[in-house]
Structure 1
């Protein structure tokens, strides 16, 4: 596995490709989302919920993590790092928001 930063100009194609290649088959994938900031500490948004898709809309500058019964919308993300296997599978995503809040998405 390798942790790497994804350039903002690549976010839309990167996450569309991941969703198409790994989230459109009959085998469900699961995600756990945690939000971390100095004000709130570490808060769990989900615990191993079926992951439906990940997309980035450059027009609205919004990253959407779509899990069953929840859309985690991250407006104006600043940086995205991923832990990616050689075949393109993501084991985790770290998103830094404009206020310094970090969203950690683990996938299995």
Structure 2
């Protein structure tokens, strides 16, 4: 596993490229801060895409039936294993961390 801080100039292009490879993945979103503790924002659900808007400085995570936005983004960290993205940590300017965990859905065996 490798954890990297993404350069702010690369956020928009990075998530555009990543979103093209996300169909079929699931995501869970946790929010953590000293003020509220650790909260599960969304259980694992089908992930539609992740978008960073440079103009409004908002990161949006679009899940099936749920939109999660992070305004005023200060840092983005990615955890990956080679070419497989495992999670994204987004820190806003208030120090609130949003952790987006990714996984592939469980493939069930074929029944006869």
Residue correspondences, number: 103
1:61 CA displacement: 0.6
RMSD: 0.9
Structure 1: gaps (5+ residues): none
Q: CA separation in 2, counterparts of 1:99 and 1:39?
A: 10
Over alpha carbons, which structure has the higher Rg?
2
TM-score (norm 1): 0.91
Which stretches of structure 1, 4 residues or more, deviate above 3 A after TM superposition? none
Match of 1:103 among 98, 106, 109: 98
Q: CA separation in 2, counterparts of 1:83 and 1:9?
A: 19
SS class of match (2:19): helix
1:16 CA displacement: 0.5
- Counterpart residue number, 1:23: 22
1:35 CA displacement: 0.2
Match of 1:90 among 55, 61, 85: 85
